[in-house]
Structure 1
Amino acid sequence: MPLHIYVDADACPVKDEIYKVALRREVAVTIVSNSPIRIPIHPLLARIVVGAGFDEADDWIAERADVASVVVTGDILLADRCLKAGAAVLAPTGKPFTAASIGNAIAVRAIMADLRAGGDAIGGPPPFAKTDRSRFLSALDETLGRLLRR
């Protein structure tokens, strides 16, 4: 079964890195977004533009994720759905979501949402850094290598 990378692309800061690793490894990539995003012209690269409805990109990706998929997303709930389908899931920072870590991530997400709803000013994640980009490149290459060997 050939590998495939699905990218939750609307806010993904590492699309160029995904193209670089995927083309070197000869793995197909589908960029999924709510609005058109330019992608390089290459037979392994595809773009899907879904409707603007809530979670349409997430639903499209989750319906296709399987054991031959790598999903790139920062969305914890989408990561959970894809893990349950057997996919490998990476955040744009290179952090892998795993069956062992997703429960904690969902719990922290819920706590932060409650704090924000209560009016607490808690800030957001740290700015995306050069080290995040480097860590992502390494994590994607390692993940694809591991999946291609099995």
Structure 2
Amino acid sequence: MKIFIDGDGSPVKDTTIKLAEKYQLPVVIVTSVDHYTTKEYPDFVTFVYVDKGADSADYKIVGLIQSGDILVTQDYGLASLVLSKGVRVLHQLGNEYTKDTIETMLEQRYFSAKLRKAGQRTKGPKAYTTEDRERFKESLEKLIAQQAGDKK
């Protein structure tokens, strides 16, 4: 089991890395070359850099991720692509994407995009809070435990 992070703009990289270290899990952060970093990370953390482009990181993740892995992303479209591969997907707010909920989420995203295209304003995301981070951490830890239990 590996934990993948859709790295462009993710506010939970450090939280995810700390939990992965606790459970001795490898972390793969996929991000655009625009977000290249020289920051030092532990050996169990790997960066995969992709070319600039709206969906470059998404396509790379879909190609690399395997059944039993965990993906951290806020991208509904990417979540829908990897759910069918047997991947567990977690939003940075701690909500798990499931096959039962993803269609509704995609429909909401479609209608919001349609409204924006017609010139209407839609609300953006709220500022990320300490409570959000704690909820994410608890959800990820629970998910890791579940996945580890499934492997036994």
Q: TM-score range by the shorter chain?
A: over 0.9
2:113 match: secondary structure: helix
1:108 alignment counterpart: 108
Change (3 A) 1:47 1:93: same
Change (3 A) 1:5 1:38: farther
1:14-40 per-position Cα deviation (integer Å, ceiling 9, x unaligned): 101001100000010011100213554
1:47 match: secondary structure: strand
% identity of equivalent residues: 28
Which of these residues, 7, 17, 20, is aligned with residue 19 of structure 1? 17
Task: Provide structure 1 residue ranges, at least 5 long, that are not aligned to the other structure.
Answer: none
Matches of 2:10 and 2:45, distance apart in 1:
16
Change (3 A) 1:29 1:132: same
Point out the more displaced range, 41-50 or 69-78: 41-50
Q: 1:114, CA displacement in angstroms?
A: 0.4
Alpha carbons 1:65, 1:86 under 8 Å: kept: no
Q: State whether structure 2 residue 56 is matched by structure 1 residue 61.
A: no
Matches of 2:16 and 2:39, distance apart in 1:
11
TM-score, normalised to structure 2, is: 0.93
Q: 1:44, CA displacement in angstroms?
A: 1.1
Q: State whether structure 2 residue 83 is matched by structure 1 residue 83.
A: yes
Matches of 2:122 and 2:107, distance apart in 1:
16
Q: 1:107, CA displacement in angstroms?
A: 0.2
Change (3 A) 1:145 1:38: farther
Aligned residues: 148
Q: 1:72, CA displacement in angstroms?
A: 0.5
Matches of 1:32 and 1:69, distance apart in 2:
14
Task: Provide structure 2 residue ranges, at least 5 long, that are not aligned to the other structure.
Answer: none
Alpha carbons 1:39, 1:45 under 8 Å: kept: no
In the TM superposition, structure 1's runs of 4+ consecutive aligned residues that sit over 4 Å from their partners are none
Point out the more displaced range, 25-34 or 61-70: 61-70
Alpha carbons 1:8, 1:57 under 8 Å: kept: yes
Matches of 1:52 and 1:135, distance apart in 2:
31
Q: 1:65, CA displacement in angstroms?
A: 2.1
Q: 1:63, CA displacement in angstroms?
A: 1.2
Matches of 2:123 and 2:112, distance apart in 1:
10
Change (3 A) 1:85 1:69: same
Q: Which amino acid aligns with 2:49?
A: V
Superposition map of 1:1-150 within 5 A: 3-35=1-33, 36-38=36-38, 40-150=40-150
